[in-house]
Amino acid sequence: MVVLLKKINVISLFLLSLLLLCALAVPQAYAATDRELSTSDTVNGDYSQWTTGSTYSYDVNPKIAIPQSYSEGFLGNTVFELRNAYDLNPLYSEGYDGRGQTVVIVNAYGSPTIYEDILAFVKWQNNYGANLPWTTLAEIKNHLRIYYPLGKPVFNNADQNQLLWATETTLDVNMVHAIAPKANIALVIAPNDNNKPMDSAVHYAITHHLGSTISLSWGTPEYDLTGREARKQVRIADAIYQEATDAGITVFAGAGDWGAANGAPINNPLFPSSDPYVTAVGGTNLFMSCYDNFKQGTNTWDGGNHVGSQYSYEIAGNDYQAMVADGFPGLPEMPAPFDIVTTGGAMSSLFPLPSWQKGITLTETDGTKIKPTGRCTSDVSFNSGVYGGLGLIFLSAESPGSPIATVAGGTSLGAPFWAALTAIACQYSGHNLGYINPQLYANRDNYYRTGAFHDITVGDNTYPTGNPLNGYKATRGWDSPTGIGSPDAAILVAKMNDGSNSGCKNNNDQSKSNAHN
């Protein structure tokens, strides 16, 4: 795996503080009007900010970072290895690689060096088996289209917040291209990270039919969503996600990276991942079996040369617990083990329990079982650890011409992964899959029986270590940190087309709004 050397650079990138949409009452059966979704309305009003997804990263020396070894550093995964782990190669060999599809990514500010950074990513990953297309700037510009529906912002590379968004943008684009290499990408950029421009950017992508899936690597804790104006905006946002459902577009959002509490004094999920019309992506830490028969996650870390050949197992995304499981001894630059990312996942106070989630159980880390009354995240999951994260990614917005090489983690990885995988499933079926949440839950027993999902049963999302507030355990079947589980892509893509809703029908049982009265 990738050698991760030099300093650790933890970047808080999971846009976690916009939409001050409240945990108080939200009237039901609310439909947004055209006036409320107008450009003039959405540009104004900066009473709240989204936070970028926690794209946490570990800076690396790319001349030393060789995927065949993780000596003197900690675990990282190349594109080649992640494809092995999640069984994508059989799809590629049959021509299912996203061609004919477009994946939409919505972010703020964008990155002035996005084209160059993608090219650096492609070239480095191709040296280690990825075989990615887009090997010239001209190809990248032809397949990555950037939209500025409210005007192109002037990027300030002295602004740390904008640099974090640039990192998020680069990570999202890299992940989509890594998983659906022949899909086009529509990058929709809001001029700032206030809630109205961000909502407007999502609305633009839907009404202009830019793609079959949308990735949102940002959100805000429901605990922080207070105030009358925020209540109005959560209703507007919910109406936008309903509109995506009606248009046959699948929307994914990361569940967060600060555990079940997401930095609050109580357990609460991120919005918009908690919206029932959005598929919430939780996190895991991935361990693999290697070509030399070495197995990660067995407390046998040895600093040897090991390349991941196939999936071994996952735990609920918790870097501390993953380092312990792997026997990671630590580096001079960092303690070992320690908390970096811990996946979100909790019960909503904004949205009641949808019918398709009935029968699920929350299990706290002390074993207490809770029958939920609200919409619960997560729905599905993907590798979110910085320990075992995606590497290498190249970032040069801060220093153009001299990119920083890094390994990145967070549920910011999961939303674009699932958007890309679902685009492949749309290619496979010949039509959009649209609103997939009811189907995922209705078919989950079959998914487990056929191996389409990995059922993650180890770990929890209590964060940070020693926090007296219990998070939730990974358990057999659905659980809050990892949802139904992570995919075996080759099996799941075919299964997602069995009895699908064809991307056209609104299968939610809560009519116009799922918000609590």
pLDDT exceeds cutoff 80 at 67: no
Helix H or strand E segment including 168? helix 160-179
CA distance 217 to 214: 10
CA distances from 295 to 70, 88, 253 (A): 13, 20, 31
pLDDT exceeds cutoff 80 at 514: no
More confident residue, 86 or 36: 86
In DSSP notation, 183-220 reads SEEEEEEESSSBHHHHHHHHHHHHHTT--SEEEE-EEE
Structure tokens at 92: 């590629």
More confident residue, 340 or 140: 140
Least confident residue range of 19-28, 43-52, 251-260: 19-28
364-392 confidence digits (pLDDT tens): 999 999 999 999 999 999 999 999 999 88
pLDDT exceeds cutoff 80 at 12: no
Question: Highest mean pLDDT: which of 62-66, 147-151, 461-465?
Answer: 147-151
Least confident residue range of 47-51, 288-292, 468-472: 47-51
Structure confidence at residue 315 as a pLDDT band (50, 70, 90): very high
CA distance 168 to 165: 5
Structure confidence at residue 33 as a pLDDT band (50, 70, 90): very low
In DSSP notation, 365-420 reads TTS-EE---EEES-SEEEE--STTEEEEEEE-SSSTTSPEEEEEESTTTHHHHHHH
pLDDT exceeds cutoff 90 at 440: yes
Amino acid making up residue 293: N
Domain boundaries, the chain: 8-289+334-495
Mean pLDDT of the chain: 84
Amino acid making up residue 464: P
Helix H or strand E segment including 118? helix 114-126
Contact 185, 177 (CB under 8 A): yes
Structure confidence at residue 2 as a pLDDT band (50, 70, 90): very low
Amino acid making up residue 120: A
**Which CATH architecture does the domain made up of 8-289+334-495 adopt?**
3-Layer(aba) Sandwich (3.40)
Q: What is the pLDDT of residue 338?
A: 85
pLDDT exceeds cutoff 90 at 51: no
pLDDT exceeds cutoff 50 at 13: no
CA distances from 311 to 233, 284, 383, 480, 489 (A): 42, 13, 11, 22, 12
CA distance 143 to 183: 8
Q: What is the pLDDT of residue 508?
A: 37
Query: Which residue is listed with tokens 């202009």?
Result: 208
Q: What percent of the chain has pLDDT over 70?
A: 82
Q: What are phi and psi of 390, to 5 degrees?
A: -80, 125
339-351 confidence digits (pLDDT tens): 889 999 999 999 9
Tell the burial category of 161 from Cβ atoms under 10 Å away from its Cβ (0-12, 13-18, 19+). middle
Q: What is the pLDDT of residue 49?
A: 55
Any residues with CB less than 8 A from the CB of 419 and at least 6 apart, and which?
Answer: 103, 104, 105, 176, 213, 214, 215, 250, 252
What does pTM read for this prediction?
0.88
